Amino acid sequence: MMLSWSDLKPGKKIIYEGIPHEITAYEHLKVAMWKWLEKVSMRNLVTWNMLSNMTFREVDKFEEADVSSANYEYLYSDWSEYFFMNKDTYDQVSLTDKVVWDAKLFLTEWDKVVLQEYNWLPINITLEPSVTLEVIDTPPGEKWNTATGWKKPATLSTWLVVQVPLFMAIWDKVKVDTREKSYLWRA
* 8 Å CB contact between 170 and 164: no
Please provide residue 55's backbone torsions phi and psi, each rounded to the nearest 5 degrees: -115, 140
pTM, two decimals, is 0.67
Instruction: State the pLDDT at residue 38.
Output: 78
Phi, psi of 178 (to 5 degrees): -75, -20
| R_g over Cα of the chain | 21
The answer on pLDDT for 5 being more than 70 is no
Phi and psi angles of residue 151, each rounded to the nearest 5 degrees, phi first = -130, 160
> Is the predicted pLDDT of residue 142 greater than 70, yes or no?
no
Q: Write out pLDDT tens, residues 59-115.
A: 778 888 888 888 999 899 887 888 999 888 898 888 887 777 778 888 888 888 988
Neighbours of 65 (CB within 10 A): 19
- Quick check: 143 pLDDT over 70? no
> 112 forms bridges with which residues in the sheet?
73
**Is the distance from CB of 37 to CB of 12 less than 8 angstroms?**
no
Domains, the chain, ordered by start? 2-64 (2.30.30.30), 67-126 (2.40.50.140), 130-186 (2.40.50.140)
- Rounded Cα gap, residues 15 and 64, in angstroms: 6
C-alpha separations of 16 from 26, 56, 116, 161 in Å:
15, 12, 17, 36
Mean pLDDT of 157-164: 86
User: Cα separations (Å) of 14 from 25, 38, 71?
Assistant: 13, 14, 22
Neighbouring CB atoms inside 10 A of 7's CB total 15
pLDDT band at 185 (very low <50, low <70, confident <90, very high): confident
pLDDT digits (tens, 9 = 90+) for 7-66: 777 878 888 888 888 888 878 777 766 677 778 888 887 777 888 887 777 777 888 888
